[in-house]
Structure 1
């Protein structure tokens, strides 16, 4: 939220009375941004999905626990599962099977997990507060938006349609869309090339070390949200242009 205070001070010379409350600070900053045609500094913004735009952790945990149960294994607390999200479904299942000390080959587990994953996809996902507004306002400023997730590509569009934001994105990349996925820089470089933008003119927005590593390897600036599934990432020490509690804070960049 610090960036909001900087914007307000630059405009008003002070923070308006009563604005120390987070919600009111956000209201003032958005009002200022909406009334001033600020040029957004990035031509392309690439978003992560789970933990950045969408709170889907409970559904992913349920799919994994249904899979464990089908193999006669104990359920895992949701909080534990959240720490495994971010590097793709196979890594998720591998983490669960290591946790269970079970020797079943992962190749034998994956079809069952994918069946439950698809069944749980639309169980209870929700956009994080401010996401729909941030996407709409970025598009209104002429910014191209793309999605780069490690979620299987077949599940991405149905989820976005369910949440009403599918039309916001000019391109979608899933974890199986290319030969490599995040933290490889390949997906981000692919998107930058697709839209004829140098990586330095693009912004990666995510919630995890996987996103940050991919951005750094691609030579792309990064912004991170403080919510989501950051695992062991030290957000305070992360080399980013912005740390956010609400995606609408992106709108104050300029």
Structure 2
């Protein structure tokens, strides 16, 4: 089936935001009188939503504080750090422009809280490319559940099989597999323990412009 729409993950696929997320985590840990952790460590935690991120950080630090106690502090720091130093990956703007020229509608499906996505896209000057945004709190389910991608396809008015997901992690792969949506994976994001070359992805690409050669 021909590709009629493209659905992008955000962090690790379009935007390198790990430094800012790590700073938000570390400011939270400091507020709890806990030691900071490396950016590389936080990178390995990104992708399953903010509640799982904070849970992992608390467990790693051996803290007995509850998630509900800590989340307001983390969200304050997350908002404060959102636009601190995010960077688009190489070739993102050119790829989005090429997809728009081909008439393909695009959407974001991310586990980042939905309210934080538009300010980030606007800061990076790519907000106008996307018809819809589904965040990690837009539905009761989040990736790797199928529902976010199924809902995104519905919003785009396209069959699931005609949409192409673009992501970087096992969370994205699981969501695509569960939804029956083909996926292209990027090597440069936050794959954690995912063996990219052992997946059933349409392709694994080194830079986003390579996506244009893998549209059905």
TM-score by length of 1: 0.83
Q: Are 1:81 and 2:72 counterparts?
A: no
Which residue number corresponds to residue 112 of structure 1? 73
CA distance in 1, matches of 2:54, 2:154: 32
Residue of structure 2 aligned with 1:196, choices 125, 145, 157:
157
Which residue number corresponds to residue 248 of structure 1? 209
Q: Are 1:139 and 2:135 counterparts?
A: no
User: 1:1-254 to 2 correspondence within 5 Å?
Assistant: 41-254=2-215
User: Does the CA contact (< 8 Å) of 1:41 and 1:253 recur in 2?
Assistant: no
CA distance in 2, matches of 1:131, 1:212: 20
Question: Structure 1: any 5+ residue segments left out of the alignment?
Answer: 1-39
1:176 partner SS = coil
Q: Compare CA radii of gyration and give the structure with the larger one.
A: 1
User: Does the CA contact (< 8 Å) of 2:132 and 2:155 recur in 1?
Assistant: no
User: Does the CA contact (< 8 Å) of 2:202 and 2:214 recur in 1?
Assistant: no
CA distance in 1, matches of 2:199, 2:162: 20
User: Does the CA contact (< 8 Å) of 1:69 and 1:75 recur in 2?
Assistant: yes
| 4+ residue runs over 3 A deviation | none
CA distance in 1, matches of 2:129, 2:69: 37
Q: CA shift at 1:253, angstroms?
A: 2.3
Question: Structure 2: any 5+ residue segments left out of the alignment?
Answer: none
TM-score by length of 2: 0.98
User: Does the CA contact (< 8 Å) of 2:106 and 2:129 recur in 1?
Assistant: yes
Root mean square deviation, CA, Å: 1.0
User: Does the CA contact (< 8 Å) of 1:225 and 1:243 recur in 2?
Assistant: yes
CA distance in 1, matches of 2:102, 2:37: 43
